[in-house]
């Protein structure tokens, strides 16, 4: 959906929902990150230049003095941060390259990588989501470098997100890379769109889970939870 369509529908109905309610009620419309067909027609340098101009306009509308020494460089800093850092996961060129290795140790039990810290941004308000991801998988004959698990989480987190989608995107990528359905993903995160605005609840967190293959049983779910909680 393009920017004009979002602006035009503000406060109206979109697929039966108020466009405002879609964000406030934590609804989302796609398991894939919504992207325009021409999303990569502009170079990163062109995107940064354009974002800087547009963010200057936002600051100007808010009444900020862009001639002040502290604020004059802010539009460029925000543009660089958006393109090169916090939304770098939108660019498929930044997708981590993953190599698999033969499971020469013949380790045939679950492997759990827990407490993978990530920072994402809510696609409804563009404020941070801060959390930890826990990943488990059982080898299908191949294994992956541990750091690549972290990189996969970071890649999908570094884009405007909804936690449910983030959970599924990580799980689907792991299933594809590892060539197995035996994958589990648990995410526990704090949403600043809840804690810093709206209801302003600073104590709650959101947990989402994906259990595939052998992990989708009460016994394995309890086993994973024990590993995570200990």
Which of 25-29, 155-159, 180-184 shows the lowest mean pLDDT across its residues? Answer: 25-29
Which of 22-36, 61-75, 214-228 shows the lowest mean pLDDT across its residues? Answer: 22-36
Per the annotation, does 193 bind a ligand? Answer: yes
pLDDT for 74-103, tens place per residue?
999 999 999 999 999 999 999 999 988 888
pLDDT averaged over the chain?
88
Active site residues: 122-125, 163, 191, 193
CATH topology of domain 100-229: GTP Cyclohydrolase I, domain 2 (3.30.1130)
Q: Would the pLDDT of 33 be above 90?
A: yes
Handedness of CA 73, 81, 58, 91 (dihedral sign): positive
- Cα distance between residue 193 and residue 197, in whole Å: 6
Q: Would the pLDDT of 215 be above 50?
A: yes
Q: What is the DSSP-derived secondary structure letter of residue 158?
A: S
Question: Which has the closest alpha carbon to 184: 224, 129, 131, 142?
Answer: 224
Which pTM was predicted? 0.86
Strand pairing class (110-122; 100-102): unpaired
pLDDT for 110-166, tens place per residue?
999 999 999 999 999 999 999 999 999 999 888 899 999 999 999 999 999 999 999
Going from N- to C-terminal start, the domains of the chain cover 3-94, 100-229
What is the mean predicted confidence (pLDDT) over 54-82? 98
pLDDT value, residue 22:
54
Architecture of the 3-94 domain: Orthogonal Bundle (1.10)
């Amino acid at each position: 959906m393009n920017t004009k369509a979002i602006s035009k529908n503000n406060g109206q109905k979109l697929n039966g929902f108020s466009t405002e309610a879609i964000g406030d009620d934590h609804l989302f419309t796609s398991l894939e990150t919504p992207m325009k067909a021409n999303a990569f027609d502009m170079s990163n340098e062109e995107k940064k230049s354009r974002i800087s101009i547009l963010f200057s306009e936002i600051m100007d509308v808010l009444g900020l003095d862009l001639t002040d020494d502290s604020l004059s460089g802010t539009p460029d800093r925000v543009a660089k941060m958006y393109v090169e850092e916090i939304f770098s996961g939108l660019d498929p060129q930044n997708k981590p390259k993953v190599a698999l290795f033969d499971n020469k140790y013949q380790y045939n039990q679950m492997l759990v990588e827990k407490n993978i810290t990530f920072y994402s941004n809510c696609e409804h308000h563009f404020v941070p989501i801060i959390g930890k991801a826990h990943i488990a998988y059982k080898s299908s004959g191949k294994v992956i470098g541990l750091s690549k698990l972290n990189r996969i989480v970071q890649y999908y987190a570094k884009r405007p997100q909804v936690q449910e989608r983030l959970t599924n995107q990580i799980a689907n990528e792991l299933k594809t890379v590892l060539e197995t359905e035996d994958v589990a993903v648990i995410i526990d995160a704090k949403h600043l769109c809840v804690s810093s605005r709206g209801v302003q609840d600073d104590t709650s967190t959101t947990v989402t889970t994906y259990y595939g293959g052998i992990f989708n049983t009460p016994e394995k779910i309890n086993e994973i939870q024990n590993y995570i909680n200990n």
